Every structure is written in C-alpha cells, then in structure tokens.
Structure 1
C-alpha cells in the first residue's frame, strides 16, 4: 500500500520542549507491499513514456503512476543498472546486458551480450552503470566497459579497478579506486594529475555547477575544482558527509544540490543560501540508506533506498510541517510570524523559528485559534486568550475557550466566540478595552456582525442565535432563529461571511436571514454552487476553501461565478480535523492546519494548459486498443496516465456511456464491471475550475455473452432442430397409438352403449309397467269414485223409501216388503272393505305424511281427511261414513281442532297442500 507521508522534521531532542524541526518537501514512500519486489533499488530512471523504471535486484520495476509492473531477466540475475535511450530501457546484470521495449502493454527483453558472447567463462563481471557518450551506449563494470554502437559491441578492459565512469563537459572521466581519476582521450585513458589527492578514494559522483567541478567521495566528503585548484568543500555540511558515506549526488533545478548517503538519508543543499535540509528516517524516509537517485520531468526527486522507494517533491509549491514525535499534537490553527510560525494545538501553543521548535511556556492545553490583527496575534485557548506581539507572549483574558475571531462589518471591532458568550474588542491598539455581551452565557463557536447592536452566533452544539444588545452591551433579546424557522436538524451550524453578507450552513444547506419575515430562507446562489459541502473556511474576499466528499477545493469567486480547483488529496488524506478547517494567508502561500502539523500551499489561479494523457486499457491482463472487443462479463481496467507524479499531476474526470455525471479519476484508474454487450465509450475530461474539457476518448465493444455466440447459436439451432424432429417422431408414434387407442375406445364405447341400451330398455319396461300400474290405480280411483256415487245414491234412495214407509202406517204389509227390499239392496260388508282398501292404496302417501305430521289422528279422522281431499261434501261423506250430516259436521269441527286450524282457513285446501 502506498505510504503517503506528508512531512518532515529533523528531530533531535535538545530538551523536553525544544528541538530541531523544519518544513520539508512532500514525500511519498513506496515499500515492497506496493511494488511486490525486492529490497534494494540500485538505479532509477524515467522513460520516454513518462513511466519510472527501477533496477530492483532480480526485477525491473515499472511505475506509470497507476500500476506497478515487475519483470525478470531470462537468466534470473540481479539487475544493477538501467539507462533510458529512446524507447529502449537498457539494463545491466551479472555477465548480462541488453535492452527492454514495450509491446502490447508488456516489457520484452532483448539480450545484447548473449548474442555476441562478449563475456568469457572466466569473467566475473557485473554491469553497475550504463551511460551514453557520443552516440554510443557504455556498459560499465568495475573492470572495464563495453561499447555498443547499435550494431557491434567493443570491449575495453581496464588495468585497474574502477568505481564509476562520469560524463562531464563532453569528457568521459573514469574514477579508479586507487589511482585517482582518468579522462578518455580517443581510445586511451589519461590520468588527471592535479586530482592526485583523490587517489585511494571511491568516487560516487562528479558534477559541475557554475564552472566548478564537484567530486563526491564515499568517505572523505566533497572536493571542489575551482579554476584548476582542487580543495575540500568549505561547508559545515561536508563534515557530516564524511561520516555519512556518500552514495549518490546530483545538481538539480533552482540551484540545489542533492546528496544521498548510506547512513543519514538525503541532504537538500541550497547553493544560494548555503542552507540545507535533511530528509531521513527520523522524519519521513523508510530507511537512511540512499542507493540511487533520479529526476523526473517535473524535476522532482526519486530515491532508491536500501529498502523501498521515495518520491520527493523538491520543486513542488507544497511543503509540510509534520511532527511524528507526538509532542505537537493536532494543529487547530497556524499563522506566520517574522521568523517562523505559530501553532495552536491540542497540546498548547508552539513556535517554530528557523529549525527550532518549542512550546510557549505556560500555554499547555487545548489552543483553538490564531487570528492576526494588525501586528498582534490573538490566540484563543482553553484557559483564556493569549496575545503574541513583537516576540512576546502574555495572557489577555481568563475567559475560557476562544474558538474563533471575526471582524465586524460595520466598524473596526473584532468579535470573539468563547465557551461562555461573545467578547468584543473595539480598540485594536488596546485589546484590554474589551466588552462582554452581558446576559449571554452560551458556548458560542462562530460569530459575525453586519448590523449595529446585532450579533449572529452559532452554538457549539446546535442552534443559531440572533442577539440584540444596547450600547451598554446588555442583551435585549436572544432569538433562536433555527427553531423559529422550524429547522429541526440545526446541529453544527457554521457562519460564513461573503462580500458583507452573512450566510449560514445548516445541515449542508445554505440560508440567509430575511429581516422582513424574520425567517431563514435558502440562498439560491450558494445552494446551487456549494450544496453538500461539509466545511468552509475564508481566505479573503474572493477566495475560500471548501471540503466536499473528503476533497479540498480552492474557490475563486469571479463575480457570481466560482472557479473550483481541487487540491490533491494525497497532501492531506486522513489529516483534516473535522469542523476545524482554518486557512491562514501568507503572501502567495496558504497555511492549512492538519491533525499532525500543517501544510503550506501556493494557490495561484493560472489557466491550465491542455493535459496530454495516455490511455492503456487492460482486460484479463491483456492490453486492449481503442475500439477493440472484450469478452462479456469481463473487468476492464483503464489506466489514465498523465506522466506527472507531483503537484502538476492533473485532476481528471470521466463519463461512461451509461453515466451522466462527472466521476473523479482516483489514482489514474478506472475500473468497469458488469458491462452490457454492445458499444461503450469512456470520455476523459479536464477541469479548469469552471468548465469540463474533453481530453481523450476510449471506445470499446463488449461482445455478446458466450451463450449468444455464433457456435452457441448454431448449437441452439441443432438442439432445437433435434428437439423438433424428436417431437415430430414422438407425435407420430403418439398419433398411431392414439388411433389404436381410439379403436379400442370405440369398441369399448360400443359395448358400453349396448349395455346402456339394454339398461335403458329395462328402464323403459319398468317405466311402462309403472305407467300401467298408474293407469290401473287411476282405474281403481274411478271405480272408487263410481262406487262412492252409487253408494251415495242408493243410500239416498233407501233413506227416502224409509221416510215414506214411516209416513205410511196403514200399509204394514207394504212396509214390511219395502224394508225387506231395502235390506236386500243395502251395501254389504265386503263391498265396503273393498272400497276402503282401494281408497287407502290410492292415498297411501297422503296417509303416511298425515299420520307422521299429526300422530294424534284416529282412523276415522284420516278417512274424513281422505274424503275432504277428494273434495266431497259433508252430505256425500255422511253415508260413506254411515253417520248423519250433522255427524259429519261435528267430525269436521273436531278435525280442525286437531289440525290447529282457525275459522278463516279452508280445511279442504289445507289437506290438499299436505
């Protein structure tokens, strides 16, 4: 994992509160877990493709700012040296040298020594340095050199042991270990006699600066040849270098000398001021042993360490103060003073002058804020307020917790937010003439004023207050504006002043105060430009800093347009103190507090030039060219390579075919997954703060899924055809079976039909017999009715004759004869029995229902019911029951009682419904 360390200090404890410390360039460290290689880095160079190359023991490392790659030689030997020449990366190893070139996103190796057999079996040589001189490539070992002119290789053997060769002023210098330094004259080597003092020295570097030749020895420091006179370097640093063992040295931009040592890290020497800075393990480097150095095209420094790689932004406008001792703590505010810096931290107030860093006595504890008012520094502290003026500190106030200071917009007074209210400083020349707002005892964190006798104050926890006071500084009203405006989530309110207007950041939305409605209203301009920011800090009238989604942006307000410039995240990643972001402007630099120090930035509004980038896309570890096809459901990694590693690294954005918003490109990598088949494009954009500009475009095609490929579709057709054929055959077999089954079914149905016909015939016969019986029953009913009528007539006749006879008393004999006749014609007992049986058969169902419903009925009652159901009158019923007419009526009355019928109900109809 990339170790991004911002910082730097030379920490040498002098006392418990005073020690050396300084601002240093930003440094990025890379360890083995980042590049997956070995420990030592023997050589560093930047290729024409802008990638950095490293000789890392058994590996050639390549880093393009996005991806680390590593390669090994065919013979697996240690790579000691590299040189970039055009598109070739030459490398030297044990009895091996050749060159690498890039093809299809991979580095390929071509051996030069193996083809020409330049090494003999008895040779025991390693190529420790490769350089170019007069159009030829030189591969140097400690015993000789191999010249390669692009066609053939020529070997030059030395009669002495050498350290390294150097090209200086178009001359080739060869430094021997024991005999001093030689210069190449045609094909011979001539000793430089005036440098005889360098005999028995290991020379690790020779360079020229301002017509002086600097010679860097391993153990005896630095020598300078000035106008032909060689002498030791008269600088205090030289004494240190003699014990540090110089391994590498180089002159770089801005009159600086870089010296890498074996035991004390790297020294950055300013040849103008004769001052230096030391970067080592005590402050930032992973170890103190510098094996190699190289510069990139930004003139920033790359260090090959005994264990790892360091990128030092020596020419970056960014510098950082970092305390890894823990003495400083988290910095809540920082400001420049005449000879250094003041820092307010959670451990107290600290002062940095030169490289001496100390805590101000009696200021231990939480310090919150430093505000510069004219030539005075007002410092808010947990224990009160301190003042720094002309190198002296004194305590101004015992009021606890000076969080922030704001200048009033109506006069020259200053307002201070404290743990217990607001303090007003009306006289800048006499800060002791301060006034406290009486009646306000609240922990106020932010404060502002743009009207007389009115103050805006944001509570440390929640709530925004409008405070009204009189000329005696007594509060006349305290209004909770967020509560009155019905803003429920009013935690952490921030007050921001912009062009004499006071704005309020509440729950990531911006509000202004409407004095007419006495309500907070959303501000259209800021909500449209700065929604969802989490923090904001003022720089000056037209500049401020915002924090959004973990990224810091420098904002330049040009009329009602805002130019956004993102500050690279690596400088402050994980070091921002939430809700305590502060910016201090110092000429062209801006100081930003961090949780372990502070950072110095140069935020210039310069029109950015078009960025040249290169795109390398990889799918399944294979390089994909523009408009190529990739497999379905495969991951696509797009490397957006700018060739910049330092402060000049552009901030880029991208859009895909399926996205509408601009997405930041982090660390130069775009990873696309779950892509649908079809055409896709990725467009890369730069941003000048206002507009997005198209820089590049990469197009690709996602193939159809394997199951939609030509062969799979062919297979599908074959399978479908086979299925259809089998279905046809199956249907045919099934049809034949169906016909056979139908024949069997017809036979079976015929049998069933025959059986049904037999059953139907049988049923018909039964129905016929039933019908015959019903006819017989109807006949019997007719007979019964006939008999009934006959009997009724006979009975009537007999009754009439009986009456006559009774009236004729004189005719005894006649009477006797008539009675005899009547007796002869009377209905016999057998006939009545037959009549009653037929009657019961006809009305059997009626009799059963009636007996079941009314069990208390007698047989005479049932017989009467049958007659009534037959709709016979009482007169007709009387002779059939052998009772009188009145007897029938009496019997009917009794029957109604038994059947529970009232007078209105008709007895015959009732019986018919049963």
Structure 2
C-alpha cells in the first residue's frame, strides 16, 4: 500500500505541474551549517555538486565534501585557501586556490587523490589566486587576475590579461571575462574578443552575469547596480531588483530554472527575482540566514538553493510546497487562521495578529490587534463578523483595531445552532453560552445552566450537542429557550467490542464518532451508535488517527503520531491519501488543535507550534523521487574503500581472516528533509533479515567467519520513498588452519595418525599378550607361593597345636608330678613321724634280734627319707618347663622375688592353696598373704583374676 500511495502521489504531483516555482508567500525552510559543523574556515567561495549528489564547497580552509551525513576535508598542497570548484562529467573535481590549481580524481580504492596542473606553469610566473573555473567546450579554463590557463589533453595554454582580469562568467556556450581597462571580453578559440560598449564597467567590478529572454545578458556589478547588455550596448535594469542591489551591493548570484535569478548581496542576504526584475523572495539574517554577506549561491540537482556565506553555509529548500511564517514575521504558536476582508488573521498564544492578504504577498510582519493580547484559542467568521475565542473573553474584531467584548469569560470556539440561524453557541471556561444576532451583530444572551465543565471539542446536530470530555461522550439536549441542558447522557464506548473514544468531528454536515479508525453515527430512533462502513473504509490503511477535520474544499485532514495527512477529494468524489509532503511538519503540530485553513488548493495554511505553514498543493515536490543510497566507505583493518565519489563499483574484495572486523558508513544525498532520512541494511551471509529503519549511518561487524558476504543497503527519505538496493560483495578468507591446503594437510595427518595408531595398537596388543602371559605366570607363582605359605602355616599351626598339646600334656604331667611329689612328701612326712615315734620306743627292752631288726628298720626308714630328692627334682623340673614364663615375668616385673616367682608358677599351674602351702611349707594364711602381695605388685584390683592375669603373660 505504501508503494501504491507513492505512485498515486507522484502521478498527482506530475499531473499538476512539471516544474516547481519560487513561492512569494512566507519563507522556505532554511537550514544552517556552522563552521563547527564542517570544521573548516568561515568563508565559502564556490559550490558544486557531482553526479552522485555530493556537494563540494570551496572554503578558505580547503575543499569540503558533504554527502548528507558526513563532511570530508581535502586540503590543497601548499594552499589551504580554495576559491573555486568545478566538476566535469567524468567526475574530476577541478579546484583552484592561491598559486595552485588542479583536480581530484578517485583512485583504485575510491579515495580522492589530488593531481596538480599548476606544476606545468613556469615557476617564474606568479599564479596568484584562481577565482573561477569553467568547463568551456572541451577545455578547462582556470582564471586568475593576471591570466587564464586553458587545460586540454594534459597540455596547458596561457592567455595573459590585456591589463588585469576581474572575474569571468560562462553563459551557455559563451565565456566572458572582465578586464579593468578593456571592459567585457569573450574567449574564443584561445583568444579574447572585446564586447562592444562594455568599457562602462571599467570603474566597477562585475560579480555576476545571467541570461535574459531575447539573448540578452543581465550584468550584476558590485556597487553600480544591474545592467542589461543586448550585443549593442549597456543600459540600467530599472527594476525592484536593481534598487535592492544599488542599496546593498551585489556579489553575483545564479540563474534559477530559467525563470528566476538569485542575487547575492554584501549587506542584506539574497533576493530571488523573476526575469522582469520583480522581487519574489527576500531572505536575510532576520529571516534565518547566519549572516547577510552571501559570497556564492548554487542550485542543486533538486532545485534547492545553497548559499556560501562569509561565515557558514545555508541550505534553502526552494523545491518544496511549504513556506513558513515564524518568528521573523512576529508570530509564535498558531491555533487558528482565517482570511476576512482582505486580511489574514491568526490566533496565537500571544493574541490575534493580521497581515494584508493580496497578490503578490507583501513581505512584512504580522501586526497585533490591540485588545487581543493573551491566549487566543480561535478566530472565525460567522455571518460576516470576525469572532475570536480568547482568554479574555468572546471578542468581535472590527476594522483590524476595534475590539468589542461579548462576554468576559474565556472562550474556546463557537458553532451555529442548527435550524436557528440567529443563534450561536460558544464553549467557555465555565461551560457553554448562547449568543443571539441582533441589529448590531452578535450579543451575549445567556450562560446555559446544568453543565460547567470546559471543553474545546464539541459538535452540533439537529437534536443534540455532543462533546468529548474525560474519555466520555456527552449527549446534551438543550431546552427550547436555550437556558439549560434538559438532558445529559454519557457514553464510554461506541460498541461492545470497541473500548474508548477517539474523536468527534463533523464530516459532510454529519456528526461522526471515531475510535481506532472506525467511524460511527448516532441513531436517535434506536438510541445506539452504528458504524458507517464507507467512511471507515477510507481510513482502513491509515495509521491510528487522533483527530481530523474537513476543510472548505471537502478534503479530510487527520493527525497520526504527531504527523499530518490528508484525504484529498478528487473531482469524481473519491479521496486520495497524501502523507509524504507533510513529513517535514512532524512534531511541530499543535496538540489537540488541528488548524487547517484552506482558501483554495494553492493557499492552505496550517498552524504550527512555531508559526504558520503555507502549503501549495499544486506545486511539484521533487523530493518524492527515489533517493539514492550509498555505502560511502567500507573499512577493515589495514584498508578503507570509498564509494559514491565517482567510481561506484569495485572488484570483489578478499579480506584476510585476521581483518574480519568490517565497518560500513552510509549516506543518501537528499537534503530537503535530511533529518528524516533512514537506512536499512542486511549483510547476506550473516543477517537473516533486513534491519529496522534507523538514521544511524554506521554499521560494524566483528569476528565474521570466512565466506562470501554481500552488504545490502537501502535508504528511505522523509516522504517514505525508498531507494534501490545498493550492494557491495566481499569475501573473508579462511584462517590458515581452515584453508583448503590446511584441510589437505589435516587429511594426510589424520591418515598418518591412523596408520601410527594402528601400528601402535598392534604393538600394544603384542605387548598386552606378552604381559598377560607374564601376568598369568606371576599369578600362578603367587598362587603356588600362597599355597605353599598356607601349607607352611598349616604345618606351623599343626606344630603349634602339637606344641600346645605337648605343653598341655607337660602341664598335666607337671600336675601329676606335683601330685606324686606331694604324695611323696606326705609319705616322707609320715615316715618322719614314724621315725619320731620310733625314737620314743625303748629299744632296751627288745632282745638283740628284735632290737637289731628295729634298728635296721629305723635306719632303713631314715635312709629312705634322707635319700629322697623328689622335691628338688620337682622344683628343677618346674623351672625348666616354665622357663619362658618366668623370664617374661621377671622382665615385666624386675623387683619380683624368687619366692614370688615360685608362687606365680604354682598359680599358673592352677594349684590349690593347700597344695601351694604344702609345697612352700607355709600355712594357708601365708599363701593368701603372698597372693595379696603379688596382686599388689602386679597392680591388680580385687575383681581381676590373678591366675588369668598370669596366664596372659
């Protein structure tokens, strides 16, 4: 749909006019470029434009290039001051400065390189300043004060001035020069020919020459005014323009569309006049120029005007259907405007101002109507009377100065009451009031009771007054005597599916209610809102609107997103949507006050926050032509390529992987609405889709992988028109480790590794088999050793068990031996008792034989007792058997006595106390005492078993 609207707009504009014209109403848009913007010198002497739309400025600090986005500086060698610039069809940029002239051309990387032509001049000749450059036939002519230098086929031809040149001018196929003593000269075939009757200019300087109808020449002098030359003589051009030049001095100018002439001045800016000398526009410092001294003027490829000033550069958007009345005309924010009795009235935040409305429009300030100072909300004509809704009240303005107050309350606006031509209703700060038309005009009648809320948005139909307030629609019925509101009803929605209220407006004498671009009417019979499909269809493809208004021509104006559009009514009753021309007004419209005053298609006034805009819908706006998008530079570490100078195509670039960080800068030399130019880009091979539209002119990509890429760029101007796609292909080489040679090496290496690994695996398998055999042998030997060890342990255990059994047997034998020994001891004790008793027997009474037998028996018993060594053998045997025990006990308890050792041995043998007492020849109590002492020496408590302790040693 956007493309369709564009085509309709272009057809419409081309159908109205093929050529624009200079408007004489208001001021065109003026944009200032200060020296801080382009970072150069103050004075700008000359301007030219290349085929890509880039502008070049000859500045006293070098040559400056402007592409709509960025400024580039190109200084001349040995001469920072550049006085002239001229671009030939091949793209060479010829420049001239002090003692230096030559040209810039693009090198293989698109950068501008300087080639000096002045080096062909004999070094003994002083060149001085080069003031003018002309592309004359097949020559390039450089003009200084002393001579001209004709450059052709890399050869330089010099023509000296008869006396001293001033300046030179090319008119179509003729090249003219002024000499201070010979008048005007024409350069032909390398020679100079004087023009008849032109020595009159010897006492002044000629700064400009322009073609006039009838093969006449208009000559602009510095201080003598304007003259016309007709090949026979010279005569003054007695016109408005001549009076201006005589007063302000001329610094030349430029012809504009073969219909107009721009004249630069020293003291008062510029004027644009027609070929009859009538001033169409006068633009100077108070109207927006940075200063009043204009050194040069230039018409670009879209018929816009560029001025090189004594300090700065100015752009004047002459190729626009808009002009403006702003601070230079003495007005500020405009809420409404109207033409009445030959005057243009505007309601502003400072009061009501007026200006004479005539043709041509006189350039002077608007005048304030006394008595209206303050906020003026509206100005309108009702039945021939000019009524103003003002903060000071309802005012009637008569004869531009007489003000009659109808009511002292502040008013927003007024509307007629349907079917009651002598009554109007006004919206004021306290509600609504009624005014009645009497013999002397409108008079205040009464305030309507029942509603005291202020509102500036209300409409009237045959039955009700409708207003929007607090997100509600109020339906208000007025009593027959207009004294009060008889009914008040509110609506928060227009239907069950739509929430909220957008706006209320009257279209074709019918009140419509709008929300989300859907339009409804009210049915009184059914008491409901129903949708008007026909009106809704008009806004189907339009962004959400906030307010709209129908003008006197039937056009419907609407506001969306702080922008303006119009449904222009055609002769067949259809509507054509126009949006593009109004983009320059975006953000400058007055909120909630859509001020459109359509006098006729050529004169439409639009209220702005900073003044008043005049719109001529019949003027062609060449800005709707497709813009051109340029990728101005393509940078990567190590190099930069420039595009858009003259050479636009390059070979596909191969970038090493180490430089895989790239940066692009963009431009679109469209200067009419430069703040609204946007770009969209896509890097094929990296981006999946186009980027969002953005005014950013730089894009950088980092860490790109190897591969083929293509940078695509398109631009969109402020009118929504898109450019063709610009493309730059490039390739990023892979890193060495991802190069095809590297991959070949990788394959060879992989094969070698596989071969090596295969051999290693084979060797490993053989080793593993060998180690497995060794391991099996080791395990077998370990198992055999373990078996042997287990067998040895078993034998030792058997030996131990045998020893234990033997020990047990020994202990048993010891016990038996001790028992036997004790029996022997008892026997010996008995025998001793017998011996003792035998001693008591009186042997004297025995006979000798008996006595002999008795003595023999006694001796035999004594000998048996004395020869018995059982106890000593027992003691020796016990010590031998328990030698290890006694040794361990002695080592653990060195202080133990031999008797205690014997006791410990008897206890170990589990002998009873009685047995121990008998062996040790002590009483049983003595044994207990010895046991107690032994326990104490061993450090045993009462609960510990002494025998068990001894057995553990």
The TM-score bracket by the shorter chain reads 0.5 to 0.7
Offset at residue 756 of structure 1 (A): 13
Q: 2:634 aligns with which of 589, 603, 619?
A: 619
Q: 1:364 aligns with which of 358, 373, 394?
A: 373
* Residue 576, structure 1, aligned to residue 576, structure 2: no
* Residue 556, structure 1, aligned to residue 565, structure 2: no
Quick one: structure 1 residues 746 and 161, their matched pair in 2 at CA, closer, same or farther if it must change by over 3 Å? farther
SS in 2 for 1:214: strand
On the 8 A contact 1:405/1:447 being kept in 2, the answer is: no
* Residue 470, structure 1, aligned to residue 452, structure 2: no
Name the structure 2 match of 1:696.
724
SS in 2 for 1:282: helix
Q: For each residue in 1:761-800, what CA deviation from the matched residue of structure 2 results, as whole angstroms up to 9, or x when unmatched?
A: 99x99xxxxxxxxxxxxxxxxxxxxxxxxxxxxxxxxxxx
Quick one: structure 1 residues 676 and 426, their matched pair in 2 at CA, closer, same or farther if it must change by over 3 Å? farther
Equivalent residue runs for 1:130-279 within 5 Å: 130-168=133-171, 171-177=174-180, 180-184=183-187, 188-189=191-192, 191-192=194-195, 194-211=197-214, 212-225=216-229, 228-235=232-239, 238=242, 240-242=244-246, 244-253=248-257, 255-272=259-276, 274-275=278-279, 277-279=281-283
* Residue 544, structure 1, aligned to residue 548, structure 2: no
Q: 1:387 aligns with which of 396, 421, 429?
A: 396
Distance (Å, rounded) in 1 between the aligned partners of 2:319 and 2:157: 40
Q: 1:442 aligns with which of 441, 453, 457?
A: 453
* Residue 100, structure 1, aligned to residue 114, structure 2: no
Q: For each residue in 1:43-79, what CA deviation from the matched residue of structure 2 results, as whole angstroms up to 9, or x when unmatched?
A: 1122333332221234322334444333233445422
Name the structure 1 match of 2:316.
312
Q: For each residue in 1:335-368, what CA deviation from the matched residue of structure 2 results, as whole angstroms up to 9, or x when unmatched?
A: 3345552121111111123314211001110011
Quick one: structure 1 residues 196 and 743, their matched pair in 2 at CA, closer, same or farther if it must change by over 3 Å? farther
On the 8 A contact 1:99/1:111 being kept in 2, the answer is: yes
SS in 2 for 1:197: helix
Q: 2:289 aligns with which of 285, 290, 293?
A: 285
Distance (Å, rounded) in 1 between the aligned partners of 2:169 and 2:786: 120
Mean Cα deviation higher: 76-85 or 645-654: 645-654
SS in 2 for 1:120: coil
SS in 1 for 2:103: strand
* Residue 350, structure 1, aligned to residue 373, structure 2: no
Distance (Å, rounded) in 1 between the aligned partners of 2:154 and 2:298: 29
Equivalent residue runs for 1:615-654 within 5 Å: 615-617=629-631, 618-620=633-635, 622-623=641-642, 634-641=662-669, 645-646=671-672
SS in 1 for 2:590: coil
Distance (Å, rounded) in 1 between the aligned partners of 2:784 and 2:517: 91
Q: For each residue in 1:67-122, what CA deviation from the matched residue of structure 2 results, as whole angstroms up to 9, or x when unmatched?
A: 4333233445422111232123221123332223346784534535256x224244
Q: 1:710 aligns with which of 704, 729, 738?
A: 738
On the 8 A contact 1:287/1:306 being kept in 2, the answer is: yes
Equivalent residue runs for 1:311-330 within 5 Å: 311-323=315-327, 328-330=331-333
Q: 1:599 aligns with which of 601, 609, 613?
A: 613
Distance (Å, rounded) in 2 between the aligned partners of 1:576 and 1:181: 53
On the 8 A contact 1:373/1:428 being kept in 2, the answer is: no
SS in 2 for 1:445: coil
On the 8 A contact 2:606/2:614 being kept in 1, the answer is: yes
On the 8 A contact 1:129/1:164 being kept in 2, the answer is: yes
SS in 2 for 1:285: coil
SS in 1 for 2:238: coil
Quick one: structure 1 residues 340 and 312, their matched pair in 2 at CA, closer, same or farther if it must change by over 3 Å? farther
Distance (Å, rounded) in 2 between the aligned partners of 1:726 and 1:407: 103
Query: Any gaps of 5 or more consecutive residues in structure 1?
Result: 1-20, 766-914
Mean Cα deviation higher: 95-104 or 426-435: 426-435
Query: Any gaps of 5 or more consecutive residues in structure 2?
Result: 1-23, 357-361, 644-648, 799-953
SS in 1 for 2:366: strand
On the 8 A contact 2:84/2:133 being kept in 1, the answer is: yes
Distance (Å, rounded) in 2 between the aligned partners of 1:303 and 1:661: 38
* Residue 296, structure 1, aligned to residue 300, structure 2: yes
Distance (Å, rounded) in 2 between the aligned partners of 1:394 and 1:616: 59
Quick one: structure 1 residues 453 and 321, their matched pair in 2 at CA, closer, same or farther if it must change by over 3 Å? same
Offset at residue 400 of structure 1 (A): 3.3
Mean Cα deviation higher: 243-252 or 745-754: 745-754
| Aligned length, in residue pairs | 733
Distance (Å, rounded) in 2 between the aligned partners of 1:149 and 1:435: 88
Distance (Å, rounded) in 2 between the aligned partners of 1:282 and 1:254: 28
Which structure: larger Rg? 2
Q: For each residue in 1:725-763, what CA deviation from the matched residue of structure 2 results, as whole angstroms up to 9, or x when unmatched?
A: 99979x9899999989999997999799999999x999x
SS in 2 for 1:362: coil
Distance (Å, rounded) in 2 between the aligned partners of 1:323 and 1:190: 51
SS in 2 for 1:199: helix
On the 8 A contact 1:89/1:100 being kept in 2, the answer is: yes
On the 8 A contact 2:494/2:500 being kept in 1, the answer is: no
Mean Cα deviation higher: 253-262 or 505-514: 505-514
On the 8 A contact 1:349/1:359 being kept in 2, the answer is: yes
Quick one: structure 1 residues 113 and 195, their matched pair in 2 at CA, closer, same or farther if it must change by over 3 Å? same
SS in 1 for 2:292: coil
Offset at residue 487 of structure 1 (A): 11
Quick one: structure 1 residues 234 and 552, their matched pair in 2 at CA, closer, same or farther if it must change by over 3 Å? same
Name the structure 2 match of 1:63.
66
SS in 1 for 2:245: helix
On the 8 A contact 2:264/2:270 being kept in 1, the answer is: yes
Quick one: structure 1 residues 749 and 341, their matched pair in 2 at CA, closer, same or farther if it must change by over 3 Å? farther
Q: 1:39 aligns with which of 36, 39, 42?
A: 42
Offset at residue 480 of structure 1 (A): 2.4
Name the structure 2 match of 1:878.
none
Mean Cα deviation higher: 480-489 or 377-386: 480-489
On the 8 A contact 2:630/2:667 being kept in 1, the answer is: yes
Offset at residue 230 of structure 1 (A): 3.4
On the 8 A contact 2:663/2:698 being kept in 1, the answer is: no
Distance (Å, rounded) in 1 between the aligned partners of 2:690 and 2:556: 25
Distance (Å, rounded) in 1 between the aligned partners of 2:480 and 2:291: 64
Distance (Å, rounded) in 1 between the aligned partners of 2:599 and 2:764: 96
Offset at residue 395 of structure 1 (A): 3.0
Offset at residue 489 of structure 1 (A): 8.8
Q: Name the TM-score, length of structure 1 as normaliser.
A: 0.67
Mean Cα deviation higher: 167-176 or 409-418: 409-418
Distance (Å, rounded) in 1 between the aligned partners of 2:195 and 2:272: 30
Quick one: structure 1 residues 229 and 352, their matched pair in 2 at CA, closer, same or farther if it must change by over 3 Å? same
On the 8 A contact 2:513/2:519 being kept in 1, the answer is: yes
Q: Which structure exhibits the higher relative contact order, with contacts defined as CA atoms closer than 8 Å and separated by 6 or more residues?
A: 2
